[in-house]
């Protein structure tokens, strides 16, 4: 615990420290609300100024904002005002704003710019941000931008683009610090002071052997605290997590999380150090991948509220059509029992309860299992145990709901047989829901299909058809209708 | 001081963990598969050794693992073997393993340990990890552990526990480096070399004024690259993001993400620096909060596969009972039309298609909106625009699906009126779904209710009842039945 000791140290310098920095460093409150979002009034003022084509006023309003807030502002104004906003604040559109922009908004702006301006921006960005900026451009525009880059940057970006999308190769930055293990702490500090072209911010130094293969890492905090004469191989940590360049970004994120990494070395197939990935990019990926699971489970495609509406409609409609097929399948099960329904219409009234509750129970299990798979909590080692666990839960919930709805039905309609039928159907459908909820995603995962994308259709099909079939089938079997 | 002394000092901090780490250089080992998860064969070997009560064999197997993998192993073995595993590898149970354990597993182990052993572990942990370890203990056990702690640590942990759960105060570590701005780079390096009790790893140094209020931060990479005589106020960044101690952890995570932070200063109500939060904790929170949204949307409670089964059953059953009420409500709408169904049973066959498709469309919108709210993408500034966007999408999807299902029904049953009725009901229910999908979560958010928890019930109620009502109602109105 260092707080107390430091306090003492600080007091010695009270007098001088007091005079500087009287102004408050707190986030400026005219534009941001208490949750750190741009205030609606502020956004409206900007939009009004844009409407009036008052570029000076726009500039004046936007100028005090942090780059990340300027990026947010682009999302909050109307689509047709975004280009105008960019023109009004041209010299505020630094690389930090560009890097923070939502993909769709950035694409809109980038496409409106001439290739040489895009190239100029790309040259100022780290490789990974430059790649993110141009990877979604169509082939022709991409080539035009690449042609404008200076050869070194072009080579770096082309190399990154040669790796698969969402792989470590796209994510890594080629700016990093790597030194031989023969250096001492003092050599390293001198090296850092002399080399101005190093990245502005880095958190670890990679130590490499003669073949440029990483052999250890050194946190800057250790270097700062060691005497100059200590050799790096005495302070470095040999326990490093290396990221192969073709690793999927989701896997990379899981490793960062598991080993609490700040940065990690990326290696090529020969084991040579070719880049680094830093945790600030990983934070975005974790958010992205988790959002993806929610959105895919519900069939909402990428679900970005800034994507062009036609893309949204197409993504959602595709999913709805797949679900339409399963709805028709379930409905055809009901069709088998039209005679029974004509004789006893109450069956049609109650049947949505059985199918709907099964659907809810299946969705619960599915959500838990999909997340457990995504976070490596559910592996081959505990699959069987988890299936048994879900069955026990389904039995308990099925029994409870079956008794509740069976009892209620018996009392309400004075019909014990109807109560028994709906109760039994509820138990059966809860078991179907629990089993489908875990077996479907686990099976898809075995076949390397993303369980978040396609599980829900199968699970709903199972609970809908089995819900109708068990309830209506039992009604006919028991002579109820 | 000699080099060897220093090396020893550095390593003493986590002696146990370091010992284990030293022998696991390569990730491609016998124990890990290509996705960096423990291999099922390996887990089975450990479980077999546990069954045979062969502690030596267990130790031998587990010893080469990284602490994070040892933590994973506890999740993968059966519940009733976890205590036995802990006993078999007692001296491998370093603080890094404890900190990485799943909450439920940790609780199981901690509860089985005497208070003084727990206190001993807590003293080795950073404040935030120590708090995480004991915050879920029941009051009595917590007091027993606190009583065993040395006064300084007890004060720190009690202070942390006095902040609300999931707030910055619980999350922050009290170990950080803060220095007055009057120091030069050289002074700072000397200070760091002299003070052994500083945290082992840190990424930024906080610069404070005489009142201990943060005035800037200095990345270690800048310090390393500056000549010794430069004053800190010339290299520090004044553009800092301060975290008030009572800020919700989700909000903290959003700020880290927005401003790409590595660490941030936590301040009390007087603006004094009292702790720091580092990005490795934030990575866990982002994962946690996103998972929470998925699990809550589907009513699966916390959804942790390690939580005791009774807690899981209770959480899921509560949700199912709420949904039962809405299912009964929807079913009572069908009940209004029993006469029509008796006359024309085909209505009962087709009605689940209308309600089900509405449910799917509503879930899509809901997932997108809930994520957009959680990530601060949807704010008061663009709510109206987003409602209009969802209405346009709903109209497009409703029209497409209405034509498809209406046309199909007309052809299949040679009944144009039935086709028109189901087509119209589909359009209506898609609009209901789109509207409910955005208005429900936005409204809940206004009232500061987590939209992920309760939106789905309202949306499904709307699409189920309106699906049945529009379809059956139109059928009766048009004289179809």
* pLDDT score at B29: 66
**Inter-chain CB proximity A20 and B156 less than 8 Å:** no
Between chain A and chain B, the number of residue pairs with CB atoms below 8 A apart is 464
Nearest-CB residue to A203 (from B203, B293, B339): B203
- B161 and B183, same structural domain? no
Distance CA A397, CA A357 (A): 11
**Inter-chain CB proximity A330 and B323 less than 8 Å:** no
Chain A nearest-CA distance from B417, in A, is: 19
- B17 and B37, same structural domain? yes
Interface of B with A in 326-385 (CB under 8 A): 327-328, 330-332, 334-335, 338-339, 341-342, 345-353, 355-357, 360-361, 363-368, 370-372, 375-382, 385
- A132 and A55, same structural domain? yes
Q: Which residues of B touch A36 (CB under 8 A)?
A: 251, 254-255, 258, 376
- A339 and A239, same structural domain? no
B229 touches chain A (CB under 8 A): no
Interface of B with A in 288-307 (CB under 8 A): 290-291, 293-295, 297-300, 303, 305-306
**Inter-chain CB proximity B363 and A201 less than 8 Å:** no
Assigned domain for B5 exists: no
Chain B nearest-CA distance from A213, in A, is: 13
Q: Which residues of A touch B239 (CB under 8 A)?
A: 25, 66
**Inter-chain CB proximity A234 and B3 less than 8 Å:** yes
Question: At which of B111, B140, B166 does a domain end?
Answer: B166
- B425 and B335, same structural domain? yes
A448 touches chain B (CB under 8 A): no
**Inter-chain CB proximity A331 and B352 less than 8 Å:** yes
**Inter-chain CB proximity A10 and B210 less than 8 Å:** yes
* φ/ψ of residue A243, rounded to 5: -110, 115
**Inter-chain CB proximity A66 and B216 less than 8 Å:** no
Chain A nearest-CA distance from B200, in A, is: 7
Nearest-CB residue to B224 (from A1, A44, A192): A192
Q: Which residues of A touch B292 (CB under 8 A)?
A: none
Task: Name the stretches of chain B with pLDDT < 70.
Answer: 1-29
Tell me, what CATH number does A197's domain have?
A: 3.10.580.10
Assigned domain for A20 exists: no
- B349 and B421, same structural domain? yes
Q: Which residues of B touch A345 (CB under 8 A)?
A: 338-339, 341-342, 345, 348
Report the residue of chain A nearest B205, measured CA to CA.
Answer: A221
Chain B nearest-CA distance from A118, in A, is: 23
Assigned domain for B236 exists: yes
Residue A6, both tokens: 């430091």
Residue by residue, pLDDT tens for chain A (481 residues) are: 334 333 343 333 333 333 333 333 344 467 888 788 899 999 999 999 999 999 999 999 999 999 999 999 999 998 889 999 998 998 888 878 888 888 889 888 888 888 888 888 888 888 888 888 888 888 888 898 899 998 988 998 898 899 998 899 998 988 889 999 889 999 998 888 888 777 777 889 999 999 999 999 999 988 888 888 999 988 898 888 899 999 999 999 999 988 889 999 999 999 999 999 999 889 888 888 888 888 988 888 888 888 889 999 999 999 999 999 999 999 999 999 999 999 999 999 999 999 999 999 999 999 999 989 988 899 888 999 999 999 999 999 999 999 999 999 999 999 999 999 999 999 999 999 999 999 999 999 999 898 988 899 999 999 999 999 999 999 999 999 8
Structural domain boundaries enclosing B284: 178-297
The total number of structural domains in chain B stands at: 3
A446 touches chain B (CB under 8 A): no
A165 touches chain B (CB under 8 A): no
**Inter-chain CB proximity B334 and A346 less than 8 Å:** no
B66 touches chain A (CB under 8 A): yes
ipTM summary value = 0.84
- B251 and B104, same structural domain? no
Chain A nearest-CA distance from B308, in A, is: 10
Assigned domain for B2 exists: no
- A443 and A319, same structural domain? yes
A27 touches chain B (CB under 8 A): yes
Strand partners, A264: A277
**Inter-chain CB proximity B368 and A396 less than 8 Å:** no
Tell me, what CATH number does A88's domain have?
A: 1.25.60.10
Report the residue of chain A nearest B27, measured CA to CA.
Answer: A241
Interface of A with B in 72-91 (CB under 8 A): 72, 75-76, 78
Chain A nearest-CA distance from B114, in A, is: 25
- A50 and A142, same structural domain? yes
B237 touches chain A (CB under 8 A): no
Question: At which of A282, A298, A333 does a domain end?
Answer: A282
Assigned domain for A19 exists: no
Report the residue of chain B nearest A307, measured CA to CA.
Answer: B389
SS3 labels along chain A: CCHHHHHHHHHCCHHHHHHCCCCCCCCCCCCECCCCCECHHHHHHHHHHHHCCCHHHHHHHHCCCCHHHHHHHHHHCCHHHHHHHHHHCHHHCCHHHHHHCCHHHHHHHHHHCCHHHHHHHHHHCCHHHHHHHHCCCCHHHHHHHHHHCCHHHHHHHHHHHCCCCCEHHHHCECCCCEEECCCEHHHHHHHHHHCCCCCCCCCEEEEECCCCCEEEEEEHHHHHHCCCCCEHHHHCECCCCCEECCCEHHHHHHHHHHCCCCEEEEECCCCCEEEEEEHHHHHHHHHHHHHHHHHHHCCCCCCCCCCCHHHHHHHHHHHHHHHHHHHHHHHHHHHCCHHHHHHCCHHHHHHHHHHHHHHHHHHHHHHHHHHHHHCCCCCCCCHHHHHHHHHHHHHHHHHHHHHHHHHHHHHHHCCHHHHHHHHHHHHHHHHHHHHHHHHHHHHHHHCCCCHHHHHHHHHHHHHHHHHHHHHHHHHHHCCCC
Tell me, what CATH number does A355's domain have?
A: 1.10.357.20
**Inter-chain CB proximity B377 and A203 less than 8 Å:** no
Q: Which residues of A touch B317 (CB under 8 A)?
A: 396-397, 400-401
- B293 and B191, same structural domain? yes
* pLDDT score at A208: 95
Assigned domain for B7 exists: no
Chain A nearest-CA distance from B141, in A, is: 24
Assigned domain for A250 exists: yes
Assigned domain for B172 exists: no
Task: Compute how many other C-beta atoms are within 10 angstroms of the C-beta atom of residue B94.
Answer: 20
Question: At which of B166, B197, B221 does a domain end?
Answer: B166
Chain A nearest-CA distance from B414, in A, is: 16
The CA-based angle B408-B412-B416, given to 5 degrees, is 70
How many Cα atoms within 13 Å fall on the side-chain side of residue A440? 27
B413 touches chain A (CB under 8 A): no
* pLDDT score at B19: 36
A189 touches chain B (CB under 8 A): yes
* pLDDT score at B192: 87
Report the residue of chain A nearest B317, measured CA to CA.
Answer: A397
Chain A contact probe: residue of B24, B70, B241, B279 with most A CBs at under 10 A: B279
- A186 and A240, same structural domain? yes
Nearest-CB residue to A241 (from B27, B328, B364): B27
- A183 and A157, same structural domain? no
């Amino acid at each position: 615990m260092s707080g107390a000791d430091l306090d003492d140290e600080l007091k010695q310098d009270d007098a001088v420290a007091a005079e500087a920095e009287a102004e408050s460093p707190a986030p400026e409150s005219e534009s941001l609300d208490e949750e750190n979002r741009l205030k609606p009034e502020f956004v409206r003022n900007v939009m009004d100024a844009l409407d009036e084509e008052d570029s000076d006023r726009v500039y004046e309003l936007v100028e005090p904002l942090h780059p990340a807030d300027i990026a947010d502002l682009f999302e909050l104004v109307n689509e047709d005002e975004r280009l105008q906003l960019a023109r009004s604040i041209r010299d505020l559109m630094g690389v930090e704003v560009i890097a923070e922009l939502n993909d769709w908004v950035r694409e809109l702006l980038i496409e409106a710019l001439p290739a040489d301006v895009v190239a100029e921006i790309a040259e100022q960005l780290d490789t990974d941000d430059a790649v993110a900026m141009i990877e979604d451009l169509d082939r022709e525009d991409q080539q035009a931008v690449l042609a404008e880059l200076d050869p070194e940057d072009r080579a770096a970006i082309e190399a990154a683009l040669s790796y698969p999308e969402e792989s470590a190769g796209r994510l890594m930055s080629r700016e990093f610090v790597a030194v031989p293990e023969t250096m001492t702490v003092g050599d390293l500090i001198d090296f850092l002071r002399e080399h101005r072209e190093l990245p502005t911010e880095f958190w670890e130094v990679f130590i490499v052997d003669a073949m440029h293969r990483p052999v250890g890492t050194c946190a800057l905090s250790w270097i700062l605290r060691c005497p100059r004469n200590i050799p790096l191989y005495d302070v470095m940590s040999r326990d490093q997590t290396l990221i192969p360049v073709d690793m999927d970004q989701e896997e990379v994120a899981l490793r960062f999380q598991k080993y609490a990494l700040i940065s990690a070395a990326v290696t090529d197939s020969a084991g040579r150090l070719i880049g680094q990935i830093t945790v600030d990019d990983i934070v975005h990926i974790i958010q992205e991948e988790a959002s993806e699971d929610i959105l895919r489970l519900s069939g909402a495609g990428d679900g970005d509220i800034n994507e062009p509406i036609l893309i949204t409609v197409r993504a959602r409609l595709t999913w709805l059509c797949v679900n339409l097929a399963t709805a028709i399948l379930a409905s055809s099960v009901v069709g088998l029992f039209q005679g029974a329904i004509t004789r006893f219409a109450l069956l049609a009234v109650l049947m949505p309860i059985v199918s709907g509750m099964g659907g809810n129970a299946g969705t619960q299990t599915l959500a838990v299992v999909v997340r457990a798979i995504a976070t490596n909590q559910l592996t081959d080692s505990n699959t069987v145990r988890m299936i048994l666990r879900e069955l026990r839960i389904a039995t308990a919930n099925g029994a409870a709901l079956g008794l509740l709805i069976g009892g209620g039905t018996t009392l309400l309609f004075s019909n014990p047989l109807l109560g028994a039928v709906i109760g039994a159907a509820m138990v059966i459908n809860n078991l179907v829901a629990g089993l489908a909820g875990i077996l479907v995603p686990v099976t898809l995962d075995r076949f390397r299909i993303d369980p978040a994308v396609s599980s829900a259709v199968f699970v709903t099909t199972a609970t809908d058809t089995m819900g109708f079939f068990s309830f209506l089938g039992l009604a006919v079997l028991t002579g109820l209708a």
